[in-house]
Structure 1
């Protein structure tokens, strides 16, 4: 799966989780830029990503993420 394909799939998940059909992701998008991205929605997002892509994140991995680009890179590293 290419980086762009992962970004496209993530964008749909983000729109669903954050209930914002106009949300446009970039690699630099972070929790400070998305109004509804709080700790509860972060957990919901991680669970949705794990289910959709059939991958698992370790707690340390989740805590280390700074933006969507790092998330995508980590997902691809998990052999998407």
Structure 2
């Protein structure tokens, strides 16, 4: 499994837990509009949960440009690789 696949798999598990939907499938193109219940409050919850799950911290400026799960995955990967 590549790092991208691993991070996306972990994110999928995280989303399923937070949205209480075991059938939820994420792809790189998934956006908030496509996930029922993904509002601004849930977005903050997702960010905090991802920080805890992956042991990383995000800066606000990094998060403002994210438009889909793929970009979020890439950001997490860059944090994990230290770049």
Normalising by structure 2, report the TM-score.
Answer: 0.91
Aligned length: 80
Map of 2:52 onto structure 1? 51
Task: Choose between structure 1 and 2: higher helix proportion.
Answer: 2
Q: CA deviation at 1:55?
A: 0.6
Unaligned 5+ residue runs, structure 2? Answer: none
Which residue does 1:24 correspond to in 2? 25
Q: Please tell me the root mean square deviation across aligned C-alpha atoms, in Å.
A: 1.1
Task: Return the alpha-carbon distance in structure 2 between the equivalents of residues 54 and 79 of structure 1.
Answer: 8
Alpha-carbon distance in structure 2 between the residues aligned to 1:9 and 1:79: 13
TM-score (norm: length of structure 1): 0.94
